[in-house]
Amino acid sequence: MPSPRSLRRQNPITLVLAGILCIGFFIFFFSGGDGALSTSGTGTAANVLSPPSLPFRKSKSNEPAPAPPVVHYHMNKLTTSRTPIANKETVLILTPLTRFYQGYWDNLLKLSYPHEYISLGFIIPKTKEGNQAYAALQAQVTKTQSGPKAKRFASITILRQDTENPLQSQNEAERHKLENQKARRAAMAKARNSLLFTTMGPTTSWILWMDADIVETPASLIQDLAAYDVPIIAPNVFQRFYNNEKKAMDIRPYDYNNWVDSPTAQAMAAKMGKDEVLFEGYNEMATYRSLMVMMYDPSADPTTKVKLDGVGGATLLVKAEVHRDGAMFPAFPFYHLIETEGFAKMAARLNWASYGLPHYLVYHYNE
Amino acid sequence: MHRHAYGNGHAAYSPSGGTFSIQPHKFQPRSQPSLRKRRQLIQRLLLVGSLFFTALFFFFPDLRPDLGSGPLSLFTSNEDPQLETVRYYDLNNVQGTARGWEREERILLCAPLRDASPHLDMFFSHLQNMTYPHNLIDLAFLVGDSKDDTLEKLTRKLEELQAHPEPKKRFGEISIMEKDFGQKVNQDVESRHGFAAQAGRRKSMAQARNWLLSAALRPTHSWVYWRDVDVETAPTTILEDLMRHNKDVIVPNVWRPLPDWLGGEQPYDLNSWQESETALALADTLDEDAVIVEGYAEYATWRPHLAYLRDPYGDPDMEMEIDGVGGVSILAKARVFRSGVHFPAFSFEKHAETEGFGKMAKRMKFSVVGLPHYTIWHLYEPSVDDLRHMEEMEKERKKKEAEEAAKKEREDKLKNTFDTPSDWKAEKAKVQDMVQQARQEAKGNEGEKAGVKLGEPVKKAVPKVGSPKKDGKVHDARG
């Protein structure tokens, strides 16, 4: 048939359809090429079998799964420096979660460290309370990871805990009873270790431990703490409350686990049996240790740092090599210390020092 | 191609003939030329525009509009829709059971390497022969402070392994961590096993193991298997065999073959032991940083060692509770490592590395077990003493050979200087002829007796020539 005639008979709709088809073809054609891109150790993993601290590219369902690649990780080139952003150092924020606070998540989103270098890890107990926290967290994660690109985190890992939590109630009063402390802290230590050792990838430079009830930190928290370039560093943990005497909002000390050791405490420990634990913040055990919460002075230089012997896990920035060397949270009495305090001791045995910032505050949720 | 309205049997009308028309027989108003032109212009503009934007968005993905997370997200700049950033795991599913291969439990196989290039071929043949489903085994290597081509060879071998035509023969995640710890200790046999170097060496070995594990352990792992590359012989079913016991930490017995002059075989791994009162008392006397190492006279601990309890005909399933473990081949449940047990790179209860690992696992109430009658064989690498001995043996052998050669030469010389037996015979015949002649001559003069006497010494002379050979044999036996 003569061609001018066929052109004339063509409907505008046909042309539009052809155009759309053309665009569709282009998208399909070019997106098909992306899968072939190989990965280079950091950034993105090519297979689902990869460190959880990295996002991965799903294989297309119609293709046979490719053999997992041989991946090299150049850990000699991994740095932990005082200028983490310039060196593109990745931070893994780890949180053992029993209750989900919106304040915690909002605060996390406010962190000014580039989110593309931040991976998150959560461990949630398999309890009723845990299920609620899990659902709440999942909703927020989905929202954030499909939201604006700049706010998205590199990857998020959510674990359900295997060890049974010995304490049914997470009530503040119940939780802090001395007799419950050892079992509670041991379970906590196991949860922390499980979270740490399964999510820490070969490309992780820093680990930021952040409890789920820390609801307010400076936005530049990671940069500020990293700038000290020390193995382990903890800010001072306070709590905001309504002071009835002053009729105004006020702050009070919260975390007692950051301390400098005292001769009294050492003498007490020397007299203890092998399996006994020395806890801080109980009248039954007056240790006379110098507590960092008590050192707070609003008028002092906020950059002052002190050397600590025991640390708390509420907010704690740790160089990944400290954990890699084996410093973990003992779930058993280690030099009569347990969990985060035992961690500081174990790190010290491996020649890694702990520091605290008495005048740099982060805030705990007030129940 | 001909397209007919009636293709079958109605080809009477040629396609060029205008008599048959398939145009719809209904009224179609002709559009006005100006309208048509405008419409064409719009169509062209749209086409050019869409092509332009497609090209633009393709080359500059950042310019792509954000279309939200709906079905249209396929077209947005979400990097790409295949990127997954959230992972969920339930650690209750990876506790580790006795029949892991049926429940598809993943194993992490860890091997720290250093100047291990000569052993890699052997190690990979072991890997390929393992009966545990390969796709459930993740491999992790830490290569550090190597001066040989370990890294290159390892990479090549692993890529060959993953290129296996059968997908089932390919392994799971494979990671190679490159990390130098700047160890000054030599890895050769003597400096490696000298007593003075032990504590420092074991601490840095522990460090390497911890780096490897902490970087390679995933929430999907039910088991962790530590294996040295220099294992020479091991059952191919070793993973299943150890797993069947369903213990938190389990090790086989490790021996090594020896040359015959050293007795044929020997216990190798002395780090698997049961704690003794003597050792505990000894530990109390040592300072905080001291490390007790087994197998040295300096610390007599009187501990029952797994290695010495082996009976070649014993039940391979027999278990023995132990406190310290050796690192040649450890199978442990991943939850042991998840709960924080590691290889102490400091003195933990006066022990470091794998022995400290055993101690710490015990401290956390995990079961630690050894199999005294289930043996794997470590490669025999001669020690400096052995080498010296072997050198001496070699020297002696050479000496002996030289001696023998000299003897042979002498013998040949003798053979050559004196004539060959055939010559002797000829000569003998000649001599006898002469004797005969003489006898015949003498017959007339004296009689027979003198002739016999003359013949005897000649006969004796023949065996005398052969005697050095006999002598040599005697010497041989003595040597």
ipTM of the complex: 0.85
Inter-residue contact A188 to A304 (CB < 8 Å): no
Task: Please check the confidence at residue B132 and state whether its pLDDT lies above 60.
Answer: yes
Mean pLDDT of chain B: 80
- Tell me if residue A34 falls in helix, strand or coil: helix
With cut-offs at 50, 70 and 90, classify the pLDDT of residue B258: confident
Q: Which of residues 210-269 of A touch B (CB under 8 A)?
A: none
What's at B137, amino acid-wise? I
Tracing tokens 């929430």 back to the chain, one arrives at B219
Domains of chain B (ranges; CATH) run 91-384 (3.90.550.10)
Closest partner residue to B54 (CB to CB) among A23, A152, A202 is A23
What is the value of pTM for the model shown?
0.76
Mutate one of A59, A143, A198, A345 to test the B interface: name it (highest B CB count within 10 A).
A198
Decide if A146 touches B, using CB distance below 8 A.
Answer: yes
d(CA A16, CA B342): 65
Which of A15, A69, A197 faces B214 most closely, judged by CB atoms? A197
Chain B contact present for A201, CB below 8 A: yes
- For the domain spanning A75-364, the CATH number is 3.90.550.10
Other Cβ atoms within 10 Å of B320 Cβ, number:
18
A152·B85 Cβ contact <8 A: yes
Q: What is the pLDDT of residue A100?
A: 94
Q: Which residues of B touch A34 (CB under 8 A)?
A: 80, 82
Q: Report the distance separating Cα B246 and Cα A31, nearest Å.
A: 47
Contact A346, A232 (CB under 8 A): no
Q: What pLDDT is attached to residue B90?
A: 92
CA terminus-to-terminus distance, chain B: 100
Which of A155, A190, A349 is closest, CB to CB, to B85?
Answer: A155
CA distances from B415 to B223, B404, B409, B411, B470 (A): 74, 16, 10, 6, 14
Kindly report, residue by residue over B50-90, the tens digit of the pLDDT.
888 888 877 766 566 555 444 444 444 444 566 888 999 99
DSSP A65: P
At A159, give phi and psi (nearest 5°).
Answer: -110, 145
Radius of gyration of chain B (CA): 43
- Alpha carbon distance B247, B100 (integer Å): 12
Q: Identify any residues that bridge with B254 across adjacent strands, giving them in sequence order.
A: B376
- Chain B stretch 149-188, residues whose beta carbon is closer than 8 A to a beta carbon of chain A: 155, 158-159, 162-164, 167, 170-180
What distances in angstroms separate CA B359 from CA A280, B273, B291, B294, B363, one per listed residue? 28, 11, 13, 14, 6
- In 3D, which of A203, A246, A161 has the Cα closest to residue A74? A203
Tell whether B287 is within 8 A of chain A (Cβ).
no
DSSP sequence for A259-320: EE--HHHHHHHHHS-TT----SSBTTB----EEGGGG--TTS-TT--EEESB--SSEEEEEH
Q: What are phi and psi of B41, to 5 degrees?
A: -60, -45
pLDDT value for B342: 95
> Between residues B235 and B456, which one has the greater pLDDT?
B235
DSSP state of B375: E
pLDDT at B278 over 80: yes
Alpha helices in B253-342 (DSSP H): 277-285, 334-338
Q: CB contact, 8 Å: A325 with chain B?
A: yes
Closest by CA to A324, choosing from B216, B108, B126, is B216
Residues of chain B with C-beta less than 8 angstroms from the C-beta of A47: 173
Query: Hey, are the CB atoms on A73 and B177 less than 8 Å from each other?
Result: yes
Q: Which of B143, B120, B109 is nearest to B211 (CA)?
A: B143
C-alpha closest to that of B265 among B379, B412, B128, B139: B379
Flag if B163 and A67 touch (Cβ within 8 Å): yes
DSSP for B179-200 reads ------S--SHHHHH-HHHHHH
Identify the helix (H) or strand (E) that includes residue A133: helix A128-145
Q: Is A69 in the B-facing interface, judged by CB distances under 8 Å?
A: yes
b/e map A7-20, b = 16+ CB within 10 Å: eeeeeeeebeeebe
* More confidently predicted of B461 and A214: A214
In a structure prediction context, what are the per-residue pLDDT tens digits for chain A, which is 367 residues long? Answer: 444 555 555 677 787 788 777 777 666 555 543 433 333 335 788 888 888 888 888 776 666 777 888 999 999 999 999 999 999 999 999 999 999 999 999 999 999 999 999 999 999 998 888 999 999 999 999 999 988 888 899 999 999 987 665 555 556 666 666 767 888 889 999 999 999 999 999 999 999 999 999 999 999 999 999 999 999 999 999 999 988 888 888 888 888 889 998 888 888 888 888 888 888 777 777 888 889 988 998 888 888 999 999 999 999 999 999 999 999 999 999 999 999 999 999 999 999 999 999 999 999 998 7
> For the segment B363-374, what is each residue's pLDDT rounded down to a tens digit?
999 999 999 999
**CB atoms B39 and A12 under 8 Å:** yes
Sort A136 into a burial class: Cβ within 10 Å, 0-12 / 13-18 / 19+.
Answer: middle
**Three-state SS at A206:** strand
Bridge partners, B255 (sequence order): B267, B377
Phi/psi region, residue B13 (left: phi>0; alpha: psi -120 to 50; beta: rest), is beta
* Residue A358 contacts B where some CB pair is shorter than 8 Å: no
Range of lowest pLDDT (A269-273, B161-165, B197-201): B197-201
Task: Find which of B8-12, B72-76, B188-192, B412-416 is predicted with most confidence, using mean pLDDT.
Answer: B412-416
User: How far is the first Cα of chain A from the last one, in angstroms, to the nearest whole number?
Assistant: 83
Question: CA B458 to CA A306: how far, in whole Å?
Answer: 112
Neighbouring residues of A3: CB distance < 8 A, sequence distance ≥ 6: none
pLDDT value for A221:
94
The token pair that represents B380 in the structure block: 């025999």
User: pLDDT higher for B462 or B205?
Assistant: B205
| CA nearest to A55, candidates A127, A145, A161, A136 | A145
The 10 Å Cβ neighbour count of residue B397 is 10
Longest alpha-carbon distance in chain B? 166
The answer to whether B83 contacts A57, with C-beta atoms less than 8 Å apart, is yes
Contact: B91, A160; criterion CB under 8 Å: yes
